[in-house]
Amino acid sequence: MNVGITPFFRDNWSGFYFMYGMEKSEREGVKSPFHAYLMEAIGLGGFVIVAGILLIFLEHPSLPVMRSSLSQHLALRRLILGIGMGSYITGASFLLSKRSGGHMNPSVTLAFLSLKKMQPGVALLYILAQLTGAGCAALLLSKLAGGLFSHPLVDYNMHKPRPPHGEATAFVAEAIISFITMFLVLATTSSKRYNKYGPLVTGSCVALFITAELPFSGMSMNPARSFAAALAANDWRYLWIYCTAPVLFMLLAAEVYAWWKEKRSLIWGDKKKKVPETDKDYREIPTYPVKKVSRAIGYFSTSDNRLRRRS
């Protein structure tokens, strides 16, 4: 890797790429690496804040919801929470795909790194940005909301096994939803036909799993989000579940996707040459951070054909 010493502010922050793991050819056409890292921090920080506020609104006993008939319908409150957070992920994924790809999750970033869609230095800075954004958001909400956020029924939006389920059940549940979500994201992103529905697919997974899986593990799929809650609560007992299951099984999903991609090339393409481009529906997943784009066309996506014509 050709990493040189360049002035920190040269060429609109381009030196930041050069110093932190991007080759010179890869930074051509990228507006600013700082923007990508900032978007990751803001995107996940916003998720933590919105999730915390929504949970306070739905679960705190002194607020109207828990004093209404909804207090008797836990599943309905989970559905409302799921729709709210799924909508946030859908919108944020669409918007952030223009710059950072909208990972907002260290597990997702590591999965793309394993597929060689990122440089190691860039992936590291993505993860640091995600942890920083989520942690700062949780601490800010804890400071501003005070007793509302720390109430036992809200509990800093902590992720932990929910009785009667234990740690093993929580681990398995996190593993399953992480694998499903990551594989669907990769399959959608690499499809010309369904790529534009990527944000909706991801948001739907979040909404569905918050509604159906939350009673088992608290529904995290995100080590940075769980880290933020543990930081605010100063409770680290169960963090290992949410730092291992999502990472391991999103990496597994990436490996299964790579295997499926090869098999797909054998079905659609020349069996001897194994050329996946011969599949009419196949599109190459972009590298991250994304280059200049005219519009977002899906979660973790950019207009690849236009980029090829410009290069």
What is the number of domains present in the chain? 1
> Which residues have a Cβ under 8 Å from the Cβ of 14 and sit 6 or more positions away?
6, 27, 30, 32, 33
Residue 253 covered by a domain = yes
Region for residue 21 given its phi and psi (left: phi exceeds 0; alpha: psi -120 to 50; beta: otherwise) = left
Which CATH number belongs to the domain containing residue 79 in this structure?
1.20.1080.10
Task: Examine residue 3 and state whether it is found in any structural domain, yes or no.
Answer: no
Is residue 108 domain-resident?
A: yes
In a domain, 300, yes or no: yes
225 domain residue, yes or no: yes
Rounded to the nearest 5°, which phi and psi values hold at 274? 55, 55
State how far the Cα of 228 lies from the Cα of 187, in Å rounded to an integer.
29
At residue 107, the pLDDT reads 96
Residue 247 lies in a domain: yes
Q: Is residue 18 part of a domain?
A: no
Task: List the pLDDT tens digit at each of the 311 positions of the chain.
Answer: 444 433 333 333 333 443 344 444 444 444 457 888 999 999 999 999 999 999 999 999 999 999 999 999 999 999 999 999 999 999 999 888 777 888 999 999 999 999 999 999 999 999 999 999 999 999 999 999 988 999 999 999 999 999 899 999 999 999 999 999 999 999 998 888 888 888 999 999 999 999 999 999 999 999 999 999 999 999 999 999 999 999 999 999 999 999 988 776 555 444 555 544 445 777 788 888 876 533 333 333 333 444 344 44
Domain hosting residue 276, numbered range:
29-284+294-304
DSSP 116: T
Within a domain: 255:
yes
Burial of 140 (0-12, 13-18, 19+ CB in 10 A): middle
